[in-house]
Structure 1
Amino acid sequence: MLVKRLWLLPVLCLGLMGCAQSPGERPFLLKNLAKSDIDLVADAHVEEVTRLAHELTIKLYQRNPRELRKGPPGMTLERRLALLFDRPRFITHSELDYRYGVDAIPLVFDPDFDGDRVFALMVGIGGMLHASYNYRHEFYLLNEIDQQKLYDSARNLEIIVWRLSNRKNPQGELFLLTNGWDEQGVANLSFERLFGKLIAHQDMMARIVSDKTNRTINKTVFSLATTALFPI
């Protein structure tokens, strides 16, 4: 009994330390004892890329308000955000023919698709990011991360950005509006900055995992205009 109590003492002390954190500090979580440094870094990256994707979704609907009206009757922005980012993640959507991740992206640039292209794009991007972290929102000691998936997802984002800026429908219009100019002729590059942050986070996480595991990343040369999206 004495040995058992002595074993519990460090855990209790850690719990008390968590309760007594200084103002502004993040509370100690017992589950973090089962996490390595790279697990904590991965958690932070997942949290940040999800936040950026959430912000990107809102901006896309603000720039393309007609797309929300193409969804099911009564669809709202709040409902779209819930479908995209709630946990557990929804990965089947009948309005997209049950496509998810990279498989949903072609719908955005399909002239015959009459659904919500913003939703298709973000199911594609969000699902791809989800897949790059092995469909996990949180990591522990025995969970692995594939540096190649992270790297390839960043390249896919570059390809998607190129397509959004260059591919047009039969009427000569972009399928979705992103960057543009205001009435004073000032460029609005907020979309470019958001995509740039997403790409940077994926590349940085790929490098961290590669360095930690001593596994190389296959950095193939490709063309933004002609390369198909990499499977994740």
Structure 2
Amino acid sequence: MPVLGLSRRGSWVSGLLLFSVLALSGCSTRQDHQSIISNQSPIKPSEFFQSHADRMATLGMRNNLNSLYRLMDKLYLRNPREWRKTGLADVQTAKRAVHRAIEQDQPLPQLGGRTDIAALSYALSAEYQGDRVGAFIYALASMLITAHGGRTEYYMSDTLDPQFIHNAARNIEKASWMLAQRTDAGGTPWLLSNEISAEGRNLSYAVEFGKIVARLDLLTDVLDERYRRMGVSYAQGLLFMNFLPVQ
């Protein structure tokens, strides 16, 4: 009887593991456009397979992409000449093209296939002559997604490297500074953004970048602590000679 019970328990556990693997394989890797722009995510069954850190990373990515989209809106508003370089009918069509490229992992044609930091370096170079707003926002989003393992939704089967996410935060800081400092040969900024002048003050761009950096740094700390606690728990078990539970 005990042997039969053990066999049944093993079958039950195997079935649960198989169900988990199949369920995780069916989980999406990308958040949908509506969730990103509304900053709200409907409750989904797949959340069962997310740890607290996974959920935090998913919400952080959603909010960071939303911040980048707001920055794109503001940059196009102050720099309308940029979207006109695309040859598209209007600014809304230009924005949708960038959204699609980010959310469906489709590199922007004008970047020549470049993604993440290669695209960011090119978009902020003197050699680039295309729509600098779209290229800049796409490159930042691509860099963030690459740092998070190429996904925008995360589950227990995923591994996030806190060092890469920390590096992404520093890249955002550098890109924000470059946006404010880079000018053409005549001293005119490539893109108008923050402004402190007699006409008024507008630091909303810096504020939005600051939000992204803060979210990334918080996630870095959470991931570091999660992995540290796993090590501490294991060390405590050795120190106090605690056996691990078997049922």
The C-alpha deviation readout for 1:68-104, integer Å capped at 9, x for no partner, is 0111x22433333333333752332221111111111
**Counterparts of 1:84 and 1:66 in 2: how far apart (Å)?**
16
**1-side partners of 2:196 and 2:189: how far apart?**
15
Cα distance between partner residues in 1 of 2:206 and 2:151? 27
Structure number with the higher helix fraction is 2
**How far is 1:209 from its partner?**
0.8
Question: Is the alpha carbon distance of 1:162 and 1:145 closer, same or farther for their aligned partners in structure 2, counting shifts above 3 Å?
Answer: same
Are positions 1:161 and 2:212 aligned together?
no
Cα offsets for 1:124-154 (capped at 9, x unmatched): 1111111121111211111111101111111
Preserved CA contact (<8 Å) 1:56 1:191: yes
Distance 1:196 1:27, change over 3 A: closer
Match of 2:104 among 89, 95, 100: 89
How far apart, in 1, do the equivalents of 2:124 and 2:151 lie?
Answer: 28
Report percent identity of matched pairs.
27
RMSD value over aligned CA atoms? 2.5
Asked if 1:77 is matched to 2:91, the reply is yes
User: How many angstroms apart in 2 are the aligned matches of 1:88 and 1:113?
Assistant: 23
- Report the 3-state secondary structure (helix = DSSP H, G, I; strand = E; otherwise coil) of the residue aligned with 1:204: helix
- Runs of 4+ that moved beyond 6 A: none
1:147 matches 2:162:
yes
| TM value normalised by structure 2 | 0.70
Q: 2: distance between equivalents of 1:88 and 1:49?
A: 13
Q: State the partner residue of 2:201.
A: 187
Conserved? CA contact 2:195–2:202, under 8 Å: yes
Q: Which residue of 1 aligns with 2:233?
A: none
Aligned residue for 2:159, secondary structure, equals coil
1:61 to 57, 76, 93: 76
Task: Tell me which residue corresponds to 2:188.
Answer: 173
**C-alpha displacement of 1:29:** 3.0
> In the comparison of the two structures, how many residue pairs are matched?
191
The correspondence of residues 1-232 of structure 1 with structure 2, limited to 5 A, is 28-71=43-86, 73-86=87-100, 88-181=103-196, 185-214=199-228
**Aligned counterparts of 1:90 and 1:28: Cα–Cα separation in 2:** 24
8 A Cα contact 1:180 1:187, kept in partner: yes
Shift of 1:107: 2.8
Quick check: 2:148–2:165 contact (8 Å CA) kept in 1? yes
Aligned equivalents of 1:197, 1:88: Cα separation in 2: 21
d(CA) in 1 for partners of 2:157 and 2:46?
14
| Cα distance change on mapping 1:121 and 1:28 into 2, 3 Å | closer
Aligned partner of 2:235 in structure 1 is none
Aligned to 1:9: none
Which structure 2 segments of 5+ residues have no match? 1-40, 230-247
Aligned equivalents of 1:167, 1:29: Cα separation in 2: 44
Name which one, 1 or 2, has greater alpha-carbon Rg: 2
State the Cα distance separating 1:171 from its structure 2 match: 1.2
Counterparts of 2:48 and 2:188, CA distance in 1: 53
TM-score by length of 1: 0.75
